Amino acid sequence: MKNAIFALLILLALSGPASADMFDVAVTAYNNGDYTQALKLLRPLATKGHAGAQFNLGWMHESGQGITQDYQEALKWYRLAAAQGTAPAQYNLEVMYGKGQGVIQDHVRAHMWLTWLRPVGMVKP
């Protein structure tokens, strides 16, 4: 599942070609189990606003892969990616609010993220 999410996020590389190349290398490093390299490449991209990198940093912090598990950091990166319309980040926020992971359990906010679960630019049915 995690590999499928990372492969999907390759398609979300919204930045310029150099950023997309770095993102691809980060995804490859992650898929090969080189979490240290993946983190090293993802952090600067995420800081510059790359939604895919933000989501992946959130995932790594939430799951504790290559870094100490930290729900607060996961929420931070998920929120940034979700604000750009990254559906997996929106979904993960829904789950975290629903379970109370890193936040006080809040079913209203969980529902809000689930309701908003759509890429930016798409019209709600």
- The CATH number of residue 18's host domain is 1.25.40.10
> Number of structural domains, the chain?
1
122 belongs to a structural domain = no
Domain assignment of residue 62, given as a range: 2-115
13 belongs to a structural domain = yes
43 belongs to a structural domain = yes
Distance CA 9, CA 45 (A): 13
Tell me which range, 7-16, 19-28, 109-118, is most confidently predicted by mean pLDDT: 19-28
pLDDT tens digits, 18-76 = 666 899 999 999 999 999 999 999 999 999 999 999 999 999 999 999 999 999 999 99
| 8 pLDDT higher than 70 | no
pTM reported for the whole predicted model: 0.76
66 belongs to a structural domain = yes
Tokens of 74: 């996961």
Distance CA 56, CA 99 (A): 20
Contact (Cβ atoms closer than 8 angstroms) between residue 46 and residue 53: yes
Distance CA 125, CA 43 (A): 35
Phi first, then psi: what are they for 116, rounded to 5°?
Answer: -85, 5
40 belongs to a structural domain = yes
Q: What is the pLDDT of residue 4?
A: 44
